[in-house]
Amino acid sequence: MTQETAEHASPLTVLAEDEIIFRDSVRAFAEAQIRPLVREMDEHAKIPRSLVDRLFELGIMGIEVPESYGGSGGTFFHAVLAVEELSRVDPSVGVLVDVQNTLVINALLRWGSDEVKRRYLPALAAKTVGAYALSEAASGSDAFALTTRAREDGDAYVLTGRKLWITNGNEADLFIVFATINPDAGYRGITAFLVERGFQGFSVGRKEDKLGIRASSTCELILEDCRVPRANVLGEIGKGYKTAIETLNEGRIGIGAQMIGLAKGALQHAVAYTKERKQFGKAIAEFQAVQHQLARAAVEVEAATLTVYNAARLREANRPFLTEAAICKVFSSEVAERVASLAVNLFGGNGFVKEYPVEKLYRDAKIGQIYEGTSNLQLQTIAKQLLGSG
Ligand SMILES: Cc1cc2nc3c(=O)[nH]c(=O)nc-3n(C[C@H](O)[C@H](O)[C@H](O)COP(=O)(O)OP(=O)(O)OC[C@H]3O[C@@H](n4cnc5c(N)ncnc54)[C@H](O)[C@@H]3O)c2cc1C
């Protein structure tokens, strides 16, 4: 190896100076501003607007928005670090920031016209929460079987249908809504529209009562003859499937980040508790069986982190990352579930009650295997590549 290649082969977990500063600022914020609210937010199934405002002030609601639009001018990797650090403390806040950055802003940056960017990016960086509405009651994994209909009418499209499971539904003022302009055209009819909460015919319906990430709102959206100006088509007519596929491919690296953050949070709690809790006259961390369980969790967390950072770095380097993103999501969500489960075990009875933080992380971990493409769908992507049919 030449000196030059050695210098370029930077270790995956070594962060650049700006990344360290950024990560540390999000970490400090999460500890000081989010940690005290976690239990209350879970119990009330709500993230207070005052906290959302503070996320905006910190600059993490518009991480990749260029400074010329009032954003932070950061990178995709910064977004991954923010989601990880927030999720270490509360995966509900992690996913709010994740959807805003890796789905909504990402889609606008890539597919928005100059006019769309001028109109919406400054607001998204300053005060407007965004949501991403693809799923419907009868189309989840088979997302392109969606039935929300968009009919052309003069200088607008009129949208009718219902969306389900939409993260940030309660907080959002801007929704990327996928609808079909022609059901007979299959996926080629799908088009992405930017729908403002105030548009006539648009309303937010029922909020789901969930197992985990309870503070993150998950809502139904109702579109009844909702008139959307033609200028609010995001990307090209009939190319919405491309917008959806490409943003979700990147978004699932964000879910990987949410899951490694959660796993690190759970491990941190387990280490602290086992050093404190005494049985048989000594700290339970002194038992080798417990040490090995903690060590195994650390192995898994390290491996999952490498898969997430690798996918994120590949994406940032404009290299193919589809399989790596699927790998990072499958693996990190399984690791999060296992590590959170171990933390519950190591807390004993205290692991099973709400007074301690780990039962919540255990509940929160489950979602990683479901949204932004279930684990089965990720495995399908990996298998296609493996078998040469991808
Ligand atoms: C908390 C939460 C937040 C969400 N946020 C959003 C959001 O912001 N925006 C949005 O658009 N959607 C969102 N979703 C929807 C989410 O993406 C879907 O729930 C997910 O894609 C799965 O779809 P489904 O629920 O219809 O399950 P189904 O597609 O019905 O899947 C059920 C089971 O069948 C398996 N399965 C399905 N097809 C296959 C196949 N071909 N091969 C093997 N197994 C298969 C799945 O893996 C799964 O185990 C959210 C969901 C939840 C629960």
Atom of ligand 1 nearest to the CA of 141: 29
Q: Does residue 3 have a pLDDT over 60?
A: no
Q: Is 178 in the pocket of ligand 1 (CB under 6 A)?
A: no
CA of 374 to the centre of ligand 1 (A): 6
Q: Does residue 150 have a pLDDT over 80?
A: yes
pLDDT above 90: percentage of residues in the chain: 97
The tens digit of pLDDT for each residue in 217-233 reads 999 999 999 999 999 99
The tens digit of pLDDT for each residue in 249-272 reads 999 999 999 999 999 999 999 999
Token duo for residue 40: 């209350």
For the chain, the average pLDDT equals 97
pTM: 0.97
Residue 219, number of CB atoms within 10 A of its CB: 22
Q: Is 141 in the pocket of ligand 1 (CB under 6 A)?
A: yes
DSSP alpha helices (H): ranges in the chain? 3-8, 17-29, 38-44, 49-58, 76-89, 91-98, 106-111, 114-126, 240-276, 288-316, 322-346, 358-365, 375-386
Separation between Cα atoms, residue 135 and residue 369, nearest integer Å? 16
Q: Which residues are catalytic?
A: 372
Q: Does residue 5 have a pLDDT over 70?
A: no
Report pLDDT for 2. Answer: 54
Atom of ligand 1 nearest to the CA of 169: 8
Q: Please, are residues 65 and 21 in contact by the beta-carbon 8 Å criterion?
A: no
Q: Please, are residues 298 and 374 in contact by the beta-carbon 8 Å criterion?
A: no
Atom of ligand 1 nearest to the CA of 372: 17
Pocket probe for ligand 1: among 141, 249, 329, the residue whose CB has the most ligand atoms within 8 Å is 141
Report pLDDT for 117. Answer: 98
Atom of ligand 1 nearest to the CA of 216: 1
Q: Is 132 in the pocket of ligand 1 (CB under 6 A)?
A: yes
pLDDT band at 162 (very low <50, low <70, confident <90, very high): very high
Query: Average pLDDT for residues 132-143, to the nearest whole number?
Result: 98
Q: Does residue 4 have a pLDDT over 80?
A: no
Q: Is 63 in the pocket of ligand 1 (CB under 6 A)?
A: no
Q: Is 175 in the pocket of ligand 1 (CB under 6 A)?
A: no
CA of 130 to the centre of ligand 1 (A): 20
Report pLDDT for 249. Answer: 96
pLDDT band at 9 (very low <50, low <70, confident <90, very high): confident
Report pLDDT for 6. Answer: 54
CA of 265 to the centre of ligand 1 (A): 26
pLDDT above 70: percentage of residues in the chain: 97
Nearest of 282, 14, 255, 244 to residue 146 by alpha carbon: 244
Separation between Cα atoms, residue 202 and residue 73, nearest integer Å? 32
CA of 33 to the centre of ligand 1 (A): 32
The tens digit of pLDDT for each residue in 299-321 reads 999 999 999 999 999 999 999 99
Q: What is the distance, to the nearest Å, from the Cα of residue 332 to the centroid of all Cα atoms in its chain?
A: 13
CA of 141 to the centre of ligand 1 (A): 5
Q: Is 10 in the pocket of ligand 1 (CB under 6 A)?
A: no
The tens digit of pLDDT for each residue in 269-289 reads 999 999 999 999 999 999 999
CA of 373 to the centre of ligand 1 (A): 6
Q: Does residue 68 have a pLDDT over 70?
A: yes
pLDDT band at 333 (very low <50, low <70, confident <90, very high): very high
**Residue minimizing CA distance to atom 30 of ligand 1:** 140
Atom of ligand 1 nearest to the CA of 375: 47
Q: Is 100 in the pocket of ligand 1 (CB under 6 A)?
A: no
CA of 101 to the centre of ligand 1 (A): 21
